[in-house]
Structure 1
Amino acid sequence: MVECFFCFANFVTTANGEFLLNGMRFRFLGTNCYYLHYSSDEVIDDLLISASQMNLEVLRIWGFLDGESYCRSKKTYMHPSIGVFGIPETVSGVKNGFERLDYIIQKAKTVDIKLIIVLVNNWDDFGGMNQYVNWFNEKHHDDFYTNEKIKQEYKKYIEYLLNRINVYTNIAYKDEPTIMAWELANEPRCETDKSGRTLLNWVREMSEFIKSIDQNHLVGVGDEGFFNSHSNFYPYKNFASWTYSGFSGVDWERLLSIESIDFATFHLYPTHWQVPNNEIEPWGLKWIEDHIKMAKSFSKPVILEEFGVPKTVENRSQIYELWLKKFYELGGDGAMFWMLAAKGEGRDKDLNGYFPDYDGFRVLNDDSLEAKIFRKIAQVIGRNAN
């Protein structure tokens, strides 16, 4: 057996409930961007340079594009059909999404940004779990977690990705220190099993499978952090009580007990979860506190990996600042706002040349108050802090 050349240098690891990078504690502010894996070099460069200028140290991206129709709509092929990874011989004039990932990785390396790569979507955007369900003629979204043929196809995709050799760096993904972590899914839910057991078993099986191939990288769930009813935490003023009740089939506490899950993730979207606008700030502060307490009880690092308040909320920038202040004061390890955008192209471009603000959460590297707050916090928290 050949020893890994890198010997864990520049890989993010964990110890005593914290992230470590080259022997030092690694805390960060980062962001998300879902459109890079079907974008041009110019767009990828612009986004990563913008992130670097904002002192953002981690970028969470999609590592999937499932289904012929979704691949065709983006003119980028990754996983168009069962067992097919890349561009089929019958298709021409499109991009290879894996080559796009190769390029993202090598560009991120040049600007010293770590990547968290997500492996499938809970939602139908870019194919997701329902595409797997449809491939195998099953009937319900949650069959993704239990059907053996579906699970084997997902594992084949993972194995292909982890063993891929980057055409720009000549390094296998499983040996690439620019990749910080793999995440099993974006916001997985299993509402047909409120106990959380189905999702728990799937997470254990898939995280152990990744570890059997790749011992270099961290593995996370990528979930929203929903509690189950046996938890000792309760929602602020009972708003969005379903996020604490097990309604979504997620049991955050038990997910953290899985040995092959290295860190905790949670998301924060009060307006999407029916919290009134005038209660967004305190509800979010309680949500942050509850998650950090539980993650630390398992001695695992914790990432607030998606959060957002629509621009229609008047005090959005103040809310962001207070949330992040509380998160880091309580010992949080990394926070990642949704989402940084930069240059757009084709139909995905507004009148000013930027990727459009489709969901109302977009942040640009500009003179906005939000951008100024993020740059300031990133400078204080990150590796280059004084």
Structure 2
Amino acid sequence: MKVFATAAALLASLSAHTSTAGYVTTSGTNFELDGKPFYVFGTNAYWASEITWSKKDLATIFSTMAKNDLTVCRTWGFADLNQTGTAPYNVVYQLWENGKPTVNTGDNGLGYFDLVVAAAKAAGVKLVVPFVNNWSDYGGIDVYVQQLGGKYHDDFYTNEKIKAAYKNFVKTFVKRYADDETIMAWQLCNECRCAGSGTLKESGNCNATTLTDWMTEMSAYIKSLDSNHLVASGSEGFMNTDKSVYLYSGPSGVDFDANLAIDSIDYGAYHAYPDSWGVSTSEAKSWGIKWIDDHVASGKKAGKPVILEEYGIKPLDSASYLAWSDQVYKAKSNMQYWQFGVKSLSTHDDGYAIFDEDELFSTVIATAAAKFASLSGSASNSSTSKSTSSNTASSVAGDASYATDDSSNEETETTEAPTATTATPSAVDASSDTAEESAGDSATGSGTEASADTTTQESATGSDSPTETTTNVPAVTTAPTSDKCAIRNRRA
């Protein structure tokens, strides 16, 4: 009887772990949520996780999305600090010093990301989270390469020591939220290419095989840590089907179809910035329609969903936005515009931002979002979000609790570190380089004494790999020299 009871308990445990309730899944070319179709019309708000907004402000950000049927938000899961590339403002997820990475689990690190997740959860918004930036803003790939003795930007994809460091960061992040259904998907990288911002050159040996092999390895690694969440590349979706057309010639090692064919990649992500990619203004609308059709066709061929997860055009053109959203809607596909803005909070405007009070938002964005919500068979969130948003502030006010100690990991040794005093983070208006105190309470409170739990672990790839330490890192108030979106001015 004891044996049968033990077996039954084990089966129950496995069943609970593999339950898809609350998690976004895939079924052929569609997403599903709780067994029902889930058509994504969402947005990007990278700044939500890069600035320590107050709990009240986070509640405003995500409840505003929810009441306008923006069901998914993509926000950064990276912010590296070292002597050559500073993290923005006062959020630091990883500190580098003399080749040693330190993952910050303190109030201005993953402790703050806990609050972002809690606010999104309270509003009913799902999150998509990339782990590293191809560009130098907020640290990025070149920080790993410089710190660990590499020479070229694309050493990130092939150097075993660098790959081990990336895995260590990913492991800490993923395990913290592996059982949280607020996360829709993890992404390997934001817009990974063979070439970066120019801090480091590319080797000349990087190609589509290089990036595809790296994506294969890293997506499988994340799946080994977390079976609950989807995994995507986070790339721009350049095609490799026609060498005579630049964006279809596999530029900088990106091959959308090859990446989508990877077993451990659940869906295809692609971007669209015609003004930055050399497409004339007069052709932008029609070019975007074809770009959408080609990626939807690739998704059908692979039997997987695709998302136009970043798109924008300068100057903002309502005709293009409307045509693109109509095209995605007709295809019953998915999209997330770049980028969301909250006028009352003066969130960052990179020229692509569409604010909640803008006419373009009400006439195109919110209208399209409601249509996509109807595709999913759900009523507009606007009728329910009023009650949701009224409870969000109180829901977020309580500290989100996430386990940072993985007792099942035999390689991890946890020791208690002395209490450290942390400078109080202040929210920064992303439209300027000056620090401002956020409205309401700081995410960490005033003058908080933060306990620094320090964890040192060996990399999964062996003792020659860099060690990882998790601790609390003092707040940083230096603004970055450039914004991630400044890259939009560079042609592909």
TM-score of the aligned structures, taking structure 2 as reference length: 0.68
1:380 aligns with 2:371: yes
Question: 1:269 aligned to 270, 273, 277, which one?
Answer: 273
Q: 1:27 to 1:72 in 2, by over 3 A?
A: closer
Q: 1:354 to 1:6 in 2, by over 3 A?
A: farther
Match of 2:102 in 1: 84
Match of 1:185 in 2: 189
Q: Select the structure of larger CA radius of gyration.
A: 2
Q: 1:246 to 1:370 in 2, by over 3 A?
A: same
Report the Cα offset of residue 385 of structure 1: 4.2
Q: 1:156 to 1:364 in 2, by over 3 A?
A: same
Match of 2:313 in 1: 309
Give CA deviations for 1:312-352 in whole Å, capped at 9, x if unaligned.
35xx11110111111121231x2000000226xxxxxxxx7
AA partner of residue 325 (structure 1): D
Match of 2:175 in 1: 163
Match of 1:74 in 2: 89
Give CA deviations for 1:285-329 in whole Å, capped at 9, x if unaligned.
11111111011100000000000011x35xx11110111111121
1:217 aligns with 2:208: no
Counterpart Cα distance in 2 of 1:178 and 1:11: 7
How many residues are aligned here?
Answer: 351
1:45 aligns with 2:59: yes
Structure with the bigger RCO (C-alpha within 8 Å, sep 6+) is: 2
TM-score of the aligned structures, taking structure 1 as reference length: 0.86
Report the Cα offset of residue 5 of structure 1: 5.7
Whether the 8 Å contact between 2:133 and 2:140 is mirrored in structure 1 is yes
Give CA deviations for 1:246-284 in whole Å, capped at 9, x if unaligned.
222111111111000000010000000011111111111
Give CA deviations for 1:156-184 in whole Å, capped at 9, x if unaligned.
001101122xxxxxxxx001111000000
Counterparts of 1:357-372 in structure 2, within 5 Å, are 357=349, 359-372=350-363
SS of 1:356's equivalent in the other structure is coil
AA partner of residue 152 (structure 2): H
Q: 1:262 to 1:120 in 2, by over 3 A?
A: same
SS of 2:313's equivalent in the other structure is coil
Counterpart Cα distance in 2 of 1:210 and 1:268: 27
Match of 1:328 in 2: 329
Give CA deviations for 1:96-129 in whole Å, capped at 9, x if unaligned.
2211110111111111111101110000010010
AA partner of residue 29 (structure 2): G
AA partner of residue 293 (structure 1): A
Structure 1 residues 285-294 or 39-48, which shifts more?
A: 39-48
Report the Cα offset of residue 372 of structure 1: 2.6
Report the Cα offset of residue 154 of structure 1: 0.3
Match of 1:348 in 2: none
Whether the 8 Å contact between 1:75 and 1:95 is mirrored in structure 2 is no
Counterpart Cα distance in 1 of 2:22 and 2:158: 36
1:56 aligns with 2:70: yes
Counterpart Cα distance in 2 of 1:152 and 1:16: 33
Q: 1:136 to 1:182 in 2, by over 3 A?
A: same
Whether the 8 Å contact between 2:22 and 2:33 is mirrored in structure 1 is yes
Report the Cα offset of residue 206 of structure 1: 0.1
Counterparts of 1:75-224 in structure 2, within 5 Å, are 75-81=90-96, 82-86=100-104, 95-164=107-176, 173-191=177-195, 192-193=204-205, 195-224=207-236
Counterpart Cα distance in 1 of 2:359 and 2:255: 37
Match of 1:338 in 2: 338
Q: 1:145 to 1:261 in 2, by over 3 A?
A: same
